[in-house]
Amino acid sequence: MLLARQAIEAAMQNIYRSLTWRLTEGFSSLVRAGDAPFADIDDPIERMSARYARLANAYLLSRPDYPFDMGRQASSPTPAESFARYHRAVPAGVHLALVTARAGSGDPGCRDAALAAAKAALAGMDGSLDALARMAAEDRDPRLDLLQAQLRWLRRELEARFSRT
């Protein structure tokens, strides 16, 4: 848990970086530090998060304009670009929140880290839901409705789980 706390503190030093960048860097640091795969947990929220990640990735890969240029742009990102920025941060944040909460039960520092990860995942979900709603208005792909339903379920369950801690 010390590595998780250090990664979070290091990622939060520059508050002007995007949420997605901080999450990606934090998780990359954790994996590099231990060179170990993510912990395997059996949790319904984790399973739905994995389903969401697979479907989001499949949808993006099916788009002819993907991958997007994710560098700095003069204009606001399109809804699809916004969704692409968040689609990996959501499952990563969910996983970190669940693993940290399970590993650090009773430790106030771990509790705070789990809450921070859950809040980051919820923020990513809000951004993704907004982008998906705008995308669904223009694109009739049925996966967009399913992605929105999965995110709403994830949001409700994650919020309920971490409001009790």
Q: Tell me: the pLDDT tens digits for 37-58?
A: 555 678 999 999 999 999 999 9
Rounded to an integer, what distance in angstroms lies between the CA atom of residue 124 and that of residue 155? 10
Spatial contact of 110 and 2, defined as CB atoms under 8 Å apart: no
Rounded to an integer, what distance in angstroms lies between the CA atom of residue 103 and that of residue 59? 33
In a domain, 24, yes or no: no
In a domain, 57, yes or no: yes
In a domain, 56, yes or no: yes
Q: What is the pTM of this model?
A: 0.72
Instruction: Give the CATH number, domain containing residue 114.
Output: 1.20.1440.60
DSSP state of 78: P
Using one digit for the tens of pLDDT, what is the confidence trace for 90-133?
A: 999 999 999 988 887 777 778 888 999 999 999 999 999 999 99
Rounded to an integer, what distance in angstroms lies between the CA atom of residue 141 and that of residue 135? 9
In a domain, 138, yes or no: yes
In a domain, 3, yes or no: no
User: Which residues span the domain enclosing 135?
Assistant: 42-68+76-163
Using one digit for the tens of pLDDT, what is the confidence trace for 13-34?
A: 554 455 566 666 666 666 565 5
In a domain, 31, yes or no: no
Number of domains in the chain: 1
In a domain, 133, yes or no: yes
- pLDDT at position 36 over 60: no
Residue 90: per-residue pLDDT: 93
In a domain, 98, yes or no: yes
